[in-house]
Structure 1
């Protein structure tokens, strides 16, 4: 294979790498985001300086790099050249820049970028710059943004207006749009939190619980209780749901536990106990299950069986098994295990209001 054919094959990949390096540098990335977010997509240097936490000189250098790369261009408004309080020099995308933005899906982020820009508190000077007259972008540059602005979902504006002061507001917008794209609307059965984490293509900084609570408060997300009982009772012995036969399952597990106790070596009689508590006598095998449970329940060893069988047997069964699991000398058998209650996981879906706003 010739060198020229090899170069041609690697060309597209090299171009992608070059664009990635160009747009991923922190200051250049922020510049692109704020040009996207600007109401006219034509900010002045002072506006970018106000928004970006870098020195004005650093921002100017990276603007020059983006202009040199053909992503941005300088747009001048001659009538303001000699006006002291109004900018005459603005930065906007070129036709090539818009093509790159489209290719790398930057245009999808315009609604979020504009909402963020809109909700940023600005000084009087920056407000004056934002409202200053400026040149019109070329049609080829202007049209993609015009088309995109028609598709800006109003649901983002609703979130920004109602929850703009919360730290998780960006994540709230992301989650609503991800649920909308996944068609998780009022007619959907809803997604559990675990399903959202695995099914939705969205990266969130804050916890789902925090985000969903905020969205529920403004009637954009509905929490749904699944059909069936609120709780499931699960026998860990059989790994089965035992709703409706809890008493029977508790009794079977207790009998398995008591059988284990009775099969152990003999234990000390009352006269062999110290004032500090029961000390079991074994054949040199160490502590017994009986002595561990006697200590757990603060009773004499010979009273373990009747104690387990009376009162709240389920609570005692689970406490006994937890004591065994903490012990280093006793191994729990398969004939008994805990019985646990597990609440059904809530499901979440967009409200009719959220879907209507997302479509508009």
Structure 2
């Protein structure tokens, strides 16, 4: 048809041609009534009833829109033999949805639907409206669905996410989470919520891990990831169960001395036990010093640490007091914790480094899309 856009001479010329395509009066009305139709698939008779145009004029412009892949004729063969039921319906294509989204037509969906719902239909128009019809492509249906929660229209936000993250498996979960943030009013001016609070605070059900979904939404610019005020990392003493930023080395050294005291106490108890056994039982010749017996495989903390650090048992104490005290402490306590033969004392523990949990909230850009 002569109304089809010619070859583009540049982006501005292409925009002008699309604008001309959509803004022609009859075509504009056709698109408005397709958007407003309950199924977004009106028949020719329905369009003729709603518009002050004759069928021939409407048919010509339907052809123009179809030639430009804005709409398509969706046929429903089961109706072909039925009396007074249409078998051809007109609805948007996926390309048509993209064009209407780009030119802000989809923002008028709620108004177009309200206009259609408040129009008194003739018996024939109502029969056509209620007639069985084919299904639109899923992408078209999703884009034209009006969210019923509070009348909020999420089409632009959903479209925005799908354009940027449509190639990710969790895109549906991303849309669910973005909507939940909006309904919970976690906007740019709010503190936000932690990842661990996501499921409980928003009462949502998603298939993919929250971390994955949140990272994608941050990357798309839908959510902002913010760190709470304060240090980037917190050093926490397991012994004190307190933050020890500013005196980490001192706390590590105090823990090491407590660990060394535990080693000495354990060896002393072992030696005393041997002495008691020698006094109470028959005298037997000992082929090695009692300290070596105490350091038998897996019997003492010192023997476990000697194995961990590849040292002779007698070298363990000096080794713990050398080098980086935090590294020495954490490695030693980790080895003790992993052993089933000894138990650590409450007088020492690791120095654990924890990053404060990020918080998440909607961006200004996301709010502008709703």
Identify which of 318, 326, 334 aligns with 1:306. 318
- Tell me which residue corresponds to 1:287: 299
Equivalent-residue separation in structure 2 for 1:299 and 1:284 (angstroms): 14
Change (3 A) 1:186 1:330: same
In structure 2, the gaps of 5 or more residues are 1-34, 43-75, 99-124, 132-144, 272-286
Name the SS of the counterpart of 1:341 in structure 2: strand
Calculate the TM-score normalised by the size of structure 1: 0.57
- Tell me which residue corresponds to 2:128: 135
Equivalent-residue separation in structure 1 for 2:359 and 2:292 (angstroms): 51
Shift of 1:146: 8.4
Shift of 1:169: 1.5
1:167 matched to 2:166? The reply is: no
Name the SS of the counterpart of 1:255 in structure 2: helix
Equivalent-residue separation in structure 2 for 1:290 and 1:147 (angstroms): 66
- Tell me which residue corresponds to 1:238: 240
Change (3 A) 1:285 1:221: closer
Shift of 1:312: 0.9
Name the SS of the counterpart of 1:203 in structure 2: coil
Equivalent-residue separation in structure 1 for 2:321 and 2:147 (angstroms): 74
Change (3 A) 1:281 1:167: same
Change (3 A) 1:220 1:332: same
Shift of 1:40: 4.2
Q: What is the Cα-based RMSD across aligned positions, in Å?
A: 4.1
Identify which of 180, 183, 200 aligns with 1:181. 183
Name the SS of the counterpart of 1:263 in structure 2: helix
In structure 1, the gaps of 5 or more residues are 1-36, 45-76, 91-113, 120-132, 139-144, 274-278
Identify which of 39, 42, 46 aligns with 1:41. 39
- Tell me which residue corresponds to 1:226: 228
Please list every run of at least 4 consecutive aligned residues from structure 1 whose deviation after the TM superposition is greater than 3 angstroms: 37-40, 80-83, 145-151, 283-286
Identify which of 196, 202, 205 aligns with 2:204. 202
Number of aligned residue pairs: give it.
Answer: 237
Which aligned pairs between 1:104-123 and structure 2 lie closer than 5 A? none
Equivalent-residue separation in structure 2 for 1:147 and 1:263 (angstroms): 69
Equivalent-residue separation in structure 1 for 2:301 and 2:228 (angstroms): 41
- Tell me which residue corresponds to 2:363: 351
Equivalent-residue separation in structure 1 for 2:352 and 2:37 (angstroms): 56
- Tell me which residue corresponds to 1:213: 215
Shift of 1:137: 5.4
Change (3 A) 1:316 1:345: same
Verify the 8 A CA contact 1:186 1:349 in the aligned structure 2. yes
Name the SS of the counterpart of 1:321 in structure 2: helix
Name the SS of the counterpart of 1:264 in structure 2: helix
Name the SS of the counterpart of 1:135 in structure 2: helix
Shift of 1:252: 1.2
| Higher gyration radius (CA) | 2
Equivalent-residue separation in structure 1 for 2:169 and 2:295 (angstroms): 64
Verify the 8 A CA contact 2:237 2:244 in the aligned structure 1. yes
